[in-house]
Structure 1
Amino acid sequence: MQTKNKIIFLVIFITFSMFVLLIVNLIYNFRDYGVKNIDDKAHVLAKTIEHSLTSQMVTGVIENRELFLSQLEDLPNIDKIWLSRGKDVVDMFGIGFNNEIARDEIDKEVLKTGKLKRVISENVFSKSHYRITIPYNATSHGKINCMQCHTNAKEGDTLGAITITMSIDDSKEVGITTVAHTAVIALVLMIIIIFLINMLISPFLNVFDEIKKVMRKAQDGDYSQRVDNPEGKESKDVASWINSLLEKLENSLDAMDSKISVFLTENSKDEKDHLINVKNTVDRLSDVYKFRKTIEYDDTLEEVYSRLAQVFKEKLGLTNFNFFESDTIHNKITAVYVEKELYCDILEKGCRADRTNTVIDSTQFKNVCTICSKCNDINYFCIPYSISNEVDLVVSIYTQTEEETKRVRELIPYIKDYIDTAKTVIVSKKLMNILELNARTDPLTGLYNRKYLEDSISKIVAQANRANIPYGILMVDIDLFKKVNDTYGHDVGDNAIKIVAETLNENCRESDIVIRYGGEEFIVLLYNCDKDSVNELAHKIKEAFALKKIPAGNTTISKTMSIGTSMFPYDSDNVKDCIKYADLALYEAKETGRNKVIAFNKELLQK
């Protein structure tokens, strides 16, 4: 039902209710007024009869009372009048004319109680009557002393009663006529009021219904509806304001939705309501922006991947996933984050998702990836992302049910948002790592360089002192290296240096640190070694190098090396001093014939 019809119905109901109440009140008041009027008339008549009978008794003409009463009955609307004698009067004077005793129960009740009694017989479509029975009680007060004539009566005794019956049809007819006229007038007024209200509020109610229709559409996400066909100036103004507001809202939402969404991956589950889409997009942008600002200040690439994993768990609700980096230049894959365990042989056999650059979904084709050896009881979802020309990132997500995999499929746009955001940070961190590595490594041999030693020496010393770990120090140099450069050229010299690096790597442990100190000199820091072990390893390296063949054009050559050793912290509690001592020992080896290992001793300081 339209609002207009509801209000008109309400107005009719209220007006009709007021009309009914008015008529009921009018009928009640007319009846009450008519009864009171007749009641007053009856009392006046009863009092007149009382005084007349008293006068007749005093003057001795009481026998004429019958004529007097019959004459009163000729008055308009008077039906009957009769007297009823009380017991004291009957005992003293008899029953009187026409048995002036109680005729019915009402007379008896009044004579007994001495209280007035009235009875109204009302009928809408037939005659209506009013009866009143008024007692005459004995009194010695006033102008007439009842006790003078009624000597057997006491004060307050009921001497008799007068009963008067009257017709109230005239009063009823007047009341009905008045009520009918009033009803007609009220009905006409009600119709006029309803007409005026309808005429005055119809334009506003029509606009209200239109607004309600427009708002219902807007609630469903459709802001294209407008308020149509307004009537009246005020309604047209309201409609114009609302239409203008809706136009601005629709255009703004469309523009915001289209412009903001370009910063994010398209979401296939867009809502119909542009306002909700804009809110969701802004929320996504806010989350992605906060993620980006956070990872920009992370120190290492490992922190970035850990932060991305935190987003996967807290924002996306994923519980089992791994991240892999694919080096497209060297065809090498590295696990950069493992949440629980590795399910496939991706590190050794490569990745199908990365190779084909497509999403791999095991729910679409069972065992689609043959290298996933532990995936029989789980579903896997592998998504490749290109980070740069040299690096791809593969996100592997593992689920227990197809429904969970379906949810992961719906999360792909959100995952891509965070990956895209992290791309530049990952690339910049990798470039920084490369620059740092280049700054700290020797490009010819791939070994750490002197700068690395200078930057790391304090950390190495602190670790050694804290754990009470000794280091053996080797200072290595190729014998007569300048002659190689002069005779065969610098290319062969570079080959010789590479062979030294190769020999050192082959004979040292992963915990040892091999450094190209400069030119043909190398330093090796041997972790947790005693003096004998250092001496033994030095000879092993020297002998291994002597057996190496160095390419020199169409032939090969062999060279020897000299090695000086020292021990930290036994020779000195200063690592730099120990490096100098190893250099002194090397110098001694060179001066005393080359191709030998010399350990530092205090006597070398005297030379």
Structure 2
Amino acid sequence: MKLKTKISFLLFSSLLLLFVAIFYNSIVDLRNASAKSAESQALSTAKVIEAGLTAHMVSGTMDQRDVFINQVTALENMKQLWLVRSSKVSHQYGKGPFGEDARDGIDKSVLESGETVIESTGGIFEDATVRLSMPYKATANGKLDCLSCHDVKAGDTLGVISVEMKANDLKALSYRNIIIGSLLLVVLFGGMVFFLYKKVLIYFDRFDAMGRCARLAQNGDLSARIPDELSDDNDAKALNRLIEKFETSLVTIQENLSDIIQINSEDDPLQALSDGSARLNDIATFTHTLQRDANASEAYVHIAHHFSDKFKIDDVNLITYNPLSEETQIVYEKKVILCDAQSGCRAARTGEIVDSSMPDGICPKMISPNEHYVCVPYTINSGSTFVVSMVSDKKSMLNGVCSNTHIVNETLQAIRGEIAHHQMHEDIVKLQRIDPLSGLYTKNFLLERMFMIVKESKRTAIPYGVMIMNVDDFTTINDVYGEKVGDETIRIIGRTLLDSLRESDVIARISGDEFAVLLYDCDPLHVNNVGEKIRSLFANKKLKAHSSGFIKTMRIGTAIFPQQHKDIAQCLAYARLAMNEAKREGGNLSVKFHTRLLESN
């Protein structure tokens, strides 16, 4: 079926349904209005009867009320009128000459509740009747004192006034209005149909052409245009210009995005752009996450989790390589890494993807031959290459990675600034905390740790051994053998201390040849033993100087925190006093602090 036929059928059907709906709604509304009017008229009539009965009672002519009732009953549209006495009135005055008992349930309910009841009966095409039953209640206001004649209370229901009235006159008027309105609607809808047929349906050939352009555009083909013979109006020409502009803009966007991410727009360029923008949004969100990370370790965790979620690979490892120093470091490993990357990473060194599924992709650094892996390198800057290594014991798990390594490169390209920032910050922190010559902590870090130890001691009371040491006559090394030998001596002291002490101990170089040690959870005896051990080890080391060698000794002072003082800085001062005492006694000695040293100093 052609579009023109479909639209014609749809328009005419819609107009017909609209006409029927308006017609029916008009009938219902007019009927309801007629019923409301009839109910209002019945209520007014009942009020008149109530007032008439009251007047008869006041004037004492209740025996003549039948004349009044008959006159009201004879009114136009009045079907029935009757009065009902309550049980109290009947008990006092009898049932009356006209048998004024309740005729039905409505009368009884009004006698009991004292509330007016109005009901309308009859359908749209049936005779309409309005039934109203209104209570007549006792009052005691001035002359209208019902309580003087009746044995009741004010507000009691003395009886019920019930009327039935015809509503057909209003209904007939409603039907006339409906017929007139329907004729007007027919004329209006006929005019609309004529206008649509003559002025609108002639455009459907043009709509067919527009639909064809839209369908082709939806499939990515933006070359279609509305033919010249159908584009003689401004709207069709505007659509052609819009499609042409859209095609030009789409090509420009594709070219710009292609500089950032890989886009395959051969099948559906619009879908390709949508996918590309989603990837860009994902990368932007991920970049924002890395910007909020406090340090490189947090950033590496997020990077690994990002690629793990992206490719559904559980084992993701991150490796950094410094081409200047040729140093390789595993900065994040999800599991126990099965690659000897620490001794050199092939992907980082060559700058090429290492894929175990390729004949030339086997990496000699992989320890486990049963594992499958893809390692993607990316150059962050001249001093750092970043490698994302994804490992699985199932080759099929890595298929998505092998075919989408460009996604890894796109992500790393976007976050290279954040990676470089965190790496630089890590290097700065390392310089602030680690002495580059000895490999030990700096004085600033020692002071920070001392502050934390004092705070912790208030809660834990863990004792620390405090030591200060330096080399006997160190200046002679620089004077006799030169600064290079002096620097090597500092390195040897650093290695000696690291080899002799635990990871829980804090070892720092606090000045040229002066070192400090904080021994964790240490008693006085252990402090003395450690001091003597360090002194002995260093005294037995032969230091090289050009073609010869020499031996140097150390002087060491020790103290105990918090037994000897609650301030660890003061304990450090005590250890210095003990070290100075060792110097006075000739050096090559470990001396523990005693209060007599305070007197001598």
- Could you state the TM-score of these two structures normalised by the residue count of structure 1? 0.62
Contact 2:446-2:508 at 8 Å conserved across structures: yes
- TM-superposed deviation, 1:4: 5.6
3-state DSSP class of the match of 2:406?
helix
Matched, 1:420 2:419: no
Pairwise CA distance, 1:601:
1.2
Partner of 1:275: 270
Q: Deviations over 1:60-90 (max 9, x none)?
A: xxxxxxxxxxxxxxxxxxxxxxxxxxxxxxx
Instruction: Tell me, yes or no, if structure 1 residue 434 matches structure 2 residue 427.
Output: yes
Pairing of 1:542-553 with structure 2 (within 5 A): 542-553=535-546
Residue 243, structure 1, aligned to residue 222, structure 2: no
Q: 2:468 touches 2:572 (CA, 8 Å); kept in 1?
A: yes
Alpha carbons of 1:384 and 1:595: their partners in 2 closer, same or farther (altered >3 Å)? same
Q: 1:582 aligns with which of 558, 567, 575?
A: 575
Residue 314 to residue 526, structure 1, CA distance change in 2 (3 Å): same
More displaced 10-residue stretch of structure 1: 569-578 or 461-470: 461-470
1:316–1:411 CA contact under 8 A, matched in 2: no
Distance (whole Å) between structure 2 residues aligned to residue 498 and residue 483 of structure 1: 17
Q: 1:485 and 1:338 mapped to 2: Cα distance?
A: 44
Residues in 1 aligned to 2:374 and 2:449: alpha-carbon distance in whole angstroms:
42
Q: Per-residue displacement from partner, 1:512-560 (whole Å, max 9, x unpaired)?
A: 2221111221112222222222212212221222233334455433222
Amino acid in structure 2 at the alignment position of 1:381: V
- Contact (CA 8 Å) 1:308, 1:418: kept in 2 or not? no
Structure 2 distance, partners of 1:384, 1:356, is 9
Contact 1:439–1:451 (Cα < 8 Å) also in 2: yes
Measure the CA separation in 2 of the matches of 1:215 and 1:458: 73
Contact 2:231–2:237 under 8 Å retained in 1: no
Aligned CA distance change for structure 1 residues 231 and 223 (closer, same or farther; 3 Å): closer
Do residues 444 (structure 1) and 437 (structure 2) align? yes
Aligned AA for 1:204?
Y
Q: Is 2:376–2:389's contact at 8 Å kept on the other side of the alignment?
A: yes
Tell me if the contact between 2:578 and 2:597 (Cα under 8 Å) persists in the aligned partners: yes
User: How far apart, CA to CA, are the structure 2 residues paired with 1:320 and 1:595?
Assistant: 53
Displacement of 1:226 in angstroms is 0.9
1:345 Cα shift?
Answer: 3.3
Q: Offset of 1:430 from its aligned partner? A: 1.5
- Secondary structure (helix, strand or coil) at the match of 1:369 reads coil
Separation in 2, partners of 1:485, 1:495: 11
Larger radius of gyration: 1
Match of 1:205 in 2: 204
**Count of aligned residue pairs for this structure pair:** 418
Which runs of 5 or more residues in structure 2 are unaligned?
14-194
Contact (CA 8 Å) 2:319, 2:328: kept in 1 or not? yes
Q: Does 1:406 align with 2:405?
A: no
Identical-residue share of aligned pairs (%): 32
In 1, Cα distance between equivalents of 2:290 and 2:436: 30
C-alpha contact 2:440 2:494 (8 A) present in aligned 1:
yes
Q: Does structure 1 residue 224 correspond to structure 2 residue 205?
A: no
Distance 2:589 2:231 in 1: 113
Q: Is the 8 A contact 2:308 2:316 kept in 1?
A: no
Distance 1:401 1:500, change over 3 A: closer
Q: How does the TM-score come out when normalised to structure 2?
A: 0.63
> Residue 518 and residue 340 in structure 1: after superposition, are their counterparts in 2 closer, same or farther (change >3 A)?
closer
Partner of 1:499: 492
Measured in 1, the distance between the counterparts of 2:243 and 2:273 equals 16
Flag as ranges the 4+ runs of structure 1 deviating above 6 A: 5-8, 196-202
Does structure 1 conserve the Cα–Cα contact (< 8 Å) formed by 2:439 and 2:491?
no
Give the equivalent residue in structure 2 for 1:456.
449
Say which is worse superposed, 207-216 or 223-232, in terms of deviation: 223-232
Letter in 1 for 2:388: V
Question: 2:302 maps to what in 1?
Answer: 307
Conserved 8 A contact 2:313-2:397: no
Which residue of structure 2 lines up, in the alignment, with residue 296 of structure 1? 291
Q: Deviations over 1:224-265 (max 9, x none)?
A: 2111123485xx32210111211222222222222233223x
Distance in 1 between residues matched to 2:437 and 2:246, nearest whole Å = 66
Q: Residues 323-355 of structure 1: CA distance to partner in whole angstroms, max 9, x if unpaired? A: 22234344443332223442333334x333333
Q: 1:317 to 1:525 in 2, by over 3 A?
A: same
User: CA, structure 1 residues 387+425, in 2 after alignment: closer, same or farther (shift >3 Å)?
Assistant: same
1:472 is aligned to 2:465:
yes
Post-superposition CA distance 1:373-393 (Å, at most 9, x none): 4342x5322222222323222
Alignment partner, residue 331 of structure 2: 336
Quickly say closer, same or farther: Cα 1:282–1:373, change in 2 above 3 A. same
1:324 paired residue among 283, 305, 319:
319
8 Å CA contact 1:343–1:375 kept in 2: the answer is no
Deviations 1:389-431 (A, max 9, x none): 2322222223455543322223322222222222222222121
Does residue 558 of the first structure (1) align with residue 530 of the second (2)? no
Note if 1:380 corresponds to 2:373: yes
Aligned: 1:252 with 2:249:
yes
Q: Structure 1 residues 419 and 565, CA, compared in 2 at 3 Å: closer, same or farther?
A: same
Output the amino acid matched with 1:277: A
Name the aligned partner's letter for residue 583 of structure 1.
R
**Is contact 2:317–2:333 with CA below 8 Å preserved after alignment?**
yes
Match of 2:513 among 496, 516, 520: 520
| CA spacing shift, 1:418–1:576, aligned 2, 3 Å | same
3-state SS, counterpart of residue 387 of structure 1: strand
| Alpha-carbon distance in structure 2 between the residues aligned to 1:380 and 1:482 | 55
Give 1:284 deviation, angstroms.
1.5
Q: CA deviation at 1:462?
A: 4.0
CA-to-aligned-CA distance 1:13-66 (integer Å, 9 cap, x gap): x9xxxxxxxxxxxxxxxxxxxxxxxxxxxxxxxxxxxxxxxxxxxxxxxxxxxx
Does the 8 Å contact 2:226/2:236 carry over to 1?
A: yes
Bigger mean CA offset, 468-477 vs 452-461: 452-461
> How large is the Cα RMSD of the aligned pairs?
3.2
